[in-house]
Structure 1
Amino acid sequence: MDKRLFWSIQQLSGRFFLVDQFMILLSKRARYVYMFVVLLKWILDGPQRRTARSATLSIIVAWLIDFVLRRLCFKARPFMKQKVGILIPTKADSSFPSKHTLLAFAVSTAIFLRNRVWGRILSYLSGLIGLSRVWVGHHYPSDIVFSALIGAMTGMVVHQKTSHCKEADS
């Protein structure tokens, strides 16, 4: 099922120039949107700064999870096992987890739990980032789904812990 879904997406890749360019843009540059939102919230005071702290901590924890998972369970990227048209070059490291997707969902979930509007926008963007990673030939759909779940859980746990610490300080 995973490979079948991968190939159904992959067969569209390289056929539509504008869609390809949009997917490449998402895959390479969407992280700057998250950085901008977190930085903007950090500059603002009060609850906005707490949101930025939660999002930043979510990034750190998600990055550590990515670091550990890549060393524990290697999964060959699609282009390493078969001929796949990749739109942008990448390292021949583990396909799971998708660091882009993991980090995007960790941040968007952390923000969503404190600010529904910004969180919803970033969650949609996170989904598009995940799709772009399959589109450019770097990941299988299962890599994206599980990375999104781990990222979302990371954002939820960090939110819960930071909310609990805030209550204890009060």
Structure 2
Amino acid sequence: MNENLFRLINDLGKQYTIVNPAVVFIAEYTVIFLAVAVLIFWCTRVNQNRIMVICGSFTFVIAEIFGKIAGKLHSNHQPFAELSNVNQLIEKAVDNSFPSDHTILFFSFCMTFWLFRGGKGAFWILLALLVGISRIWVGVHYPADILVGAIISIVTAFMVFRVVPKLSIVQKSLGIYEKGESYILPLKKDNYHG
């Protein structure tokens, strides 16, 4: 089933070659967009946005650890290294592709953004799904690599969202950081929101 679903998605790249450049861009370069978005959220200097970025970072680190454990329990190489006639559209070193690190990264942050932003966060879930599907389309991951990476991240994001914002050490550390930041980059009085 895993291989059949892979073929179904990966073969779309052979049928709809006109879409391939867009899919390659999503698979390879949306990570830059995600990094810029995280930076922008942090630089707004809004406490809620910063807690959101902290939670996303915690989620990613914890989900990666769970991902590495999952990778010890099961491993497989990328589809292009194991199957014939794969439509491989990007270069990738051959290693254990289970679960997908790319998917863990995107679902860690995008799920966190959705939890914090509610209906406004739907865009981020869509982005994470597109990135996951794109990694299958370009031939570097099986659907199971994506699915397990997404599940690990989603479960971790829920746990972190429930726990981390309530931790006094997180609030205190952020307060200390913001005091130091205000000495270096003072806020204008009319822009200060408390």
The TM-score with structure 2 as length reference comes to 0.79
Query: Structure 1's 106 and 169: CA in aligned 2 closer, same or farther, altered over 3 A?
Result: closer
Q: 1:40: how far off?
A: 1.2
Q: Residues 1-170 of structure 1 correspond to what in structure 2 (within 5 A)?
A: 1-44=1-44, 45-83=46-84, 84-166=86-168
**Structure 1: how far apart are the matches of 2:70 and 2:154?**
16
Q: Is the 8 A contact 1:70 1:94 kept in 2?
A: yes
Structure 1 Cα separation of the partners of residues 64 and 101 of structure 2 = 7
CA contact (8 A) 1:34 1:122 kept: no
2:179 alignment counterpart: none
Name stretches of at least 5 consecutive residues in structure 1 with no aligned partner: none
- Is the Cα–Cα contact under 8 Å of residues 113 and 121 in structure 2 kept in the other structure? yes
Mapped partners of 2:33, 2:102: distance in 1: 13
Q: Secondary structure at the match of 1:113?
A: helix
- SS where residue 77 of structure 2 aligns? coil
Higher-Rg member (1/2): 2
1:60 shift after superposition: 2.2
- List alignment gaps of at least 5 residues for structure 2: 173-194
Cα distance change on mapping 1:56 and 1:37 into 2, 3 Å: same
Counterpart code for 1:132: S
User: Residues of 2 paired with 1:56 and 1:124: CA distance?
Assistant: 20
Deviation at 1:100, TM superposition (A): 0.8
Separation in structure 2 between the aligned mates of residue 31 and residue 169 of structure 1, nearest angstrom: 28
Number of residues of Structure 1 aligned to a counterpart in Structure 2: 170
Which range moves more in the overlay, 59-68 or 136-145? 59-68
* Partner amino acid, structure 2, of 1:11: D
Alpha-carbon shift at residue 62 of structure 1 (Å):
2.6
Per the TM alignment, residue 169 of structure 1 is displaced from its structure 2 partner at its CA by 6.2
% identical equivalent positions? 26
Question: Which has the higher mean CA deviation after the structures are superposed, 59-68 or 24-33?
Answer: 59-68
Q: TM-score, normalised by structure 1?
A: 0.89
Of 69-78 and 103-112, the range deviating more from structure 2: 69-78
